[in-house]
Amino acid sequence: MKRKTLSYLLRVDPVRCDGFGHCAELAPELITLDEWGYPILSGETFARSHVELVQSARLAVRGCPRAALSLQSLSSSESN
Amino acid sequence: MTTKFRVLDGAHDTPADLAQHEAHFGPIRGLHLEPAELKASGLTGRGGAGVATALKVDFLRQQKRAVGYVVVNAMEGEPAAHKDRTLISKNPHLILDGAMVLANMLGADDVVVCVAREHTSAVATMKAAIAERGRRRLQGPAFELMTPPGRYVAGEESALVHWLDDGEALPQYRSTRPSVLRIGRRGVLVDNAETHANVALIARHGSDWFRSVGTSRQPGTLITTVSGHGRTTVVEVPYGTPIRDVLHAASVPFDPVAVLLGGYGGTWLAGHHLDRGCDNESLQGVGANIGAGVIVAVAPQGCGVAETARIVEYMARESARQCGPCAFGLPALAADLELLRRGHDGASALARLEERCGTIEGRGACRHPDGVIRLIRSALRTFADDVVRHAGGQPCPHAATSAVVRIPHRSHPETLEWA
Ligand code: SF4
Ligand code: SF4
């Protein structure tokens, strides 16, 4: 078996998100908060080789109390 | 201008019954359309987004699980639009023919026709038309009429399907697009009522006939709803007809300083661009879009800043309040537009507006906030000179009284009705 994931994209489901902003503490490199406390994601994909970013993204996904965050795996053809 | 009616054609003043319908448009029995012919027709959706209908159909045909429902979206939540109701009041069976053709193409057993419950006359007409077909025992899908609450976002396709599936007219978050909307486990095709009516004509006359009017990218006709002149006039015109000619056909008696195009989440077009055609390709260069055919003409005594403030206040109220950036962001935008309208601290309001448009954009589950932002940005562009005066504390003399765009009453003040 060969792992195909080359990069990741962090997404937030705005309907689930409660805006308490826990994620911005867990992954400050990827998430900032707007003036009302809701997360702003960079919307940029990051490479699997960028280990710290992947780590923080996973922390945020796991730490989100509303399960609003998801880490989408992109294969080479999808990442742009 | 020669207006060539197609979907609004017919000599009758009341909704055509089945006999009148078949006498005018031809028999229903044997109506059939191949996917390739639909594709060749180049039909684009009439609900606002303008996506090729064949693209949506093909996407669903590629899915493993079959499509169960074809939905006719005649919700018409856009306050300045009246075309779906006009179409229903004229040719309800043409819409149903098209839905039947698409259901047969996709192998769907059910057609669900959605009309906002507040539009009582359209509800009654559709009910009668569906009952008439039932008595004829026509082959094909079963028809059902549903009447969701008529709020602005209730007609957004994911909200509509959510309501059909689970009784809540709230948009659904979709992490990827295109995505398959479902009722239960079965896939759903949602198309605007006017789109369905055009499918019925393509099935009868073929794609070459269909393409004989309109533009190459948007063939056929578009039903426009023109207002701003004290009336609401519905005219069907070929795509690409100069906006000026559409206004003329609707008997708008003045030279507008600007027109609102597409809807309340649409774009402003300055008066000196009215020779542009009413199709997305012609309007692209000036950042506008024809959307669902709404055209609101603003007379010289109107104020574009004030009109935008009024619309955004309404759109903020109509947020489904599910998503933070929309629930908090839209009222903030509305408040700053109100300051700009009055010329109170307009410069800082303007700075905040521009900044917040950037942070809010793209962060809702549906495109409701994006439409508002598109409108605000186009207002700042189109009315740039006025905006400078407002920001400098010198609003135009009409800013306090301008009331061109029709804003629905606060019908659901606190108790939001989504069921
Ligand atoms: S932790 Fe989750 S719920 Fe909280 S703000 Fe972040 S995404 Fe939203
Ligand atoms: S973006 Fe606004 S209107 Fe759309 S689902 Fe979210 S809160 Fe509702």
Give start and end residues of each alpha helix (H) in B107-236: 120-136, 157-166, 193-210
Of B184, B210, B236, which residue constitutes the final position of a domain? B210
Max Cα separation, chain B? 68
CATH number of the domain bearing residue B261 = 3.10.20.600
The reply to whether B383 falls in a domain is yes
Indicate if B189 and B60 belong to the same structural domain.
yes
> What is the distance between the alpha carbons of residues B40 and B229, in angstroms, rounded to a whole number?
38
> What is the distance between the alpha carbons of residues A30 and A27, in angstroms, rounded to a whole number?
6
Query: Is pLDDT at B415 greater than 60 in this prediction?
Result: no
The reply to whether B408 falls in a domain is no
DSSP codes joined into one string, A16-80: T-----HHHHH-TTTEEE-TTS-EEE----EETT-HHHHHHHHHHHHH-TT--EEEEEE-TTT--
pLDDT band for position B274 (50/70/90)? very high
* Distance (Å) of CA B398 to CA A8, A47, B387, B388, B395: 52, 55, 13, 15, 8
CATH of region A5-74 = 3.30.70.20
Indicate if B289 and B311 belong to the same structural domain.
no
Task: Write down how long chain B is.
Answer: 419
Indicate if B94 and B37 belong to the same structural domain.
yes
Q: Which residues of A touch B (CB under 8 A)?
A: 11, 13-17, 19, 34-38, 40, 43, 70, 72
Mean pLDDT across chain B, nearest whole number?
Answer: 91
The reply to whether B417 falls in a domain is no
The reply to whether B53 falls in a domain is yes
Indicate if B381 and B283 belong to the same structural domain.
no
More confident residue, B90 or B287: B90
Indicate if B134 and B266 belong to the same structural domain.
no
What tokens does A59 get? 């922390």
Kindly list the strands in the beta sheet with B221-227, ordered across the sheet, starting from the edge strand earlier in the chain.
B232-238, B221-227, B294-298, B258-261, B267-270
Give start and end residues of each alpha helix (H) in B296-367: 304-317, 324-327, 329-342, 346-360
Judge whether B57 and B105 are in contact, CB under 8 Å.
yes
For a pocket test of ligand 2, which of B321, B363, B373 has the largest count of ligand atoms closer than 8 A to its C-beta?
A: B321
Is ipTM beyond 0.85?
yes
Nearest CA owner, ligand 2 atom 4? B366
The reply to whether B1 falls in a domain is no
Give the position, in ligand 2's atom list, of the atom nearest the Cα of B319. Answer: 3
Percent of chain B at pLDDT > 70 equals: 97
pLDDT band for position A6 (50/70/90)? confident
What is the number of the ligand closest to the CA of B315? 2
Interface test with A, best of B174, B323, B330 (most A CBs within 10 A): B323
Indicate if B166 and B184 belong to the same structural domain.
yes
Residue (of B337, B334, B336, B342) closest to B314 by Cα position: B334
Indicate if B190 and B121 belong to the same structural domain.
yes
CATH number of the domain bearing residue B13 = 3.40.50.11540
Judge whether B280 and B325 are in contact, CB under 8 Å.
no
Indicate if B85 and B105 belong to the same structural domain.
yes
Residue-number span of the structural domain to which B333 is assigned? 304-403
The reply to whether B116 falls in a domain is yes
pLDDT in tens, B64-104: 888 999 999 999 999 999 999 999 999 999 999 999 999 99
What tokens does B182 get? 């479902």
Indicate if B22 and B155 belong to the same structural domain.
yes
**In Å, how far is B64's CA from the nearest CA of chain A?**
22
Three-state DSSP class for B287?
Answer: coil
Distance of CA B299 to the CA centre of its chain: 23
User: Is the CB of B173 less than 8 angstroms away from the CB of A34?
Assistant: no
For a pocket test of ligand 1, which of A11, A20, A31 has the largest count of ligand atoms closer than 8 A to its C-beta?
A: A20
Query: Is pLDDT at A77 greater than 50 in this prediction?
Result: no
Indicate if B245 and B331 belong to the same structural domain.
no
Q: What is the pLDDT of residue B125?
A: 97
Which residues are CB-contacts of B393 (< 8 A; sequence separation ≥ 6)? B343, B344, B346
Ranges of each domain in chain A: 5-74
Indicate if B185 and B130 belong to the same structural domain.
yes
The count of structural domains within chain B is 3
